[in-house]
Amino acid sequence: MTTRRKFLTTAGVGAVGASLAAPAIAQSKIKWRMQTYAGAALAEHVITPAINSFNKIAGDEMEIELFFADQLVPTGELFRAMQKGTIDAVQSDDDSMASPTEVTVFGGYFPFASRYSLDVPVLFNQYGLNEIWDEEYSKVGVKHISAGAWDPCHFATKDPITSLEDLKGKRVFTFPTAGRFLSQFGVIPVTLPWEDIEVAMQTGELDGIAWSGITEDYTVGWADVTNYFLTNNISGAWAGSFFANMDRYNELPEHLRELLKVCMDQSHYYRQWWYWGGEASLRVNGPKMELTSIPDEEWKTVEDAAVKFWDEIAAESETKAKVVNIIKQYNADMVKAGRPYRYG
């Protein structure tokens, strides 16, 4: 007969043997490489806090290593690098990273599409842009995680700008679509690596920058090499997004996908108040740049030209026409809503 002592002894040996025969497989830590469009100083606000939070919460499960502008690849090659899997994720606007989609032209600063930073998330989350972006990027093997707003687009220049005539012949660092639009007013768009802009202003290679609002001018050092800030802007907010290689994204367990989205949304929220407060404070209290303005009646020429520009873009494809119609409808709704959504 099998005694109780013998049973316990045998069972114990069997358990140990089974444990030795089939050791537990340690789960390896998931590691991603993400590159942002921003240089180190700007990234401290627009992305680093979100990545630090993600890594802290993800713990031993996943880590995102963050790289700044042009560290791994030039910004204009970000999309291709992500699509191939050289980089796992990207923070950029569609325009700067040269994505081959129908919505690329609307990334960054699409002229006068927005008046305020809150316009961007409403357009994406309530007016249907999220669904269009998701469809377009899914076609090319990229996951569009979420879109958010940054700062408005203003000119920072060496010489004062007080009329449209003053823009003529000015060599300006700006976004591809913004440059295409502004060229009709005599602006000469210049493309350079982000980190070279400050030196280019000092050497005279550039006359100005139309890449940001005043918060970034101070944060990244451009306020030190420009003398004037034009209060007229060509868009109320930069529209940028977080993207990931589709295969890498699909490999993530569901809870890490959700954590990624939550941290990206927190990043969007941070920028909402950081830029909004910074733009006002630095205009009032900033000591480095003198404010100039072009009269409203003259600037209306630029605003009217933007609507014609929208129609030119809409004529290029069915998808672009769909986005332009949404932008038109949204802005019409905001005008009808009146204060505080639109004034005048």
> Can you tell me the distance from the alpha carbon of 104 to that of 86, in angstroms, rounded to the nearest whole number?
21
How do residues 142-192 score in pLDDT, each as one tens digit? 999 999 999 999 999 999 999 999 999 999 999 999 999 999 999 999 999
Give pLDDT, residue 344: 62
Q: Which residues lie across from 249 on neighbouring strands?
A: none
Residue ranges of domains in the chain: 30-150+237-281, 153-236+288-337
Compute CA distances 120 → 152, 234, 302, whole Å.
Answer: 11, 15, 21
How do residues 82-109 score in pLDDT, each as one tens digit? 999 999 999 999 999 999 999 999 999 9
Which homologous superfamily is 153-236+288-337 in? Answer: Bacterial extracellular solute-binding protein, family 7 (3.40.190.170)
How do residues 40-64 score in pLDDT, each as one tens digit? 999 999 999 999 999 999 999 999 9
> Can you tell me the distance from the alpha carbon of 137 to that of 102, in angstroms, rounded to the nearest whole number?
9
- Give the residue from 94, 52, 97, 44 showing the smallest Cα distance to 68: 44
The amino acid occupying position 17 is G
How do residues 292-308 score in pLDDT, each as one tens digit? 999 999 999 999 999 99
Give pLDDT, residue 26: 53
Which homologous superfamily is 30-150+237-281 in? Answer: Bacterial extracellular solute-binding protein, family 7 (3.40.190.170)
Mean pLDDT of 247-263: 98
- Give the residue from 92, 87, 84, 82 showing the smallest Cα distance to 32: 87
User: Is the pLDDT confidence value at 216 over 60?
Assistant: yes
Mean pLDDT of 283-289: 97
Same fold across 30-150+237-281 and 153-236+288-337: yes
Cβ atoms of 197 and 216 closer than 8 Å: no
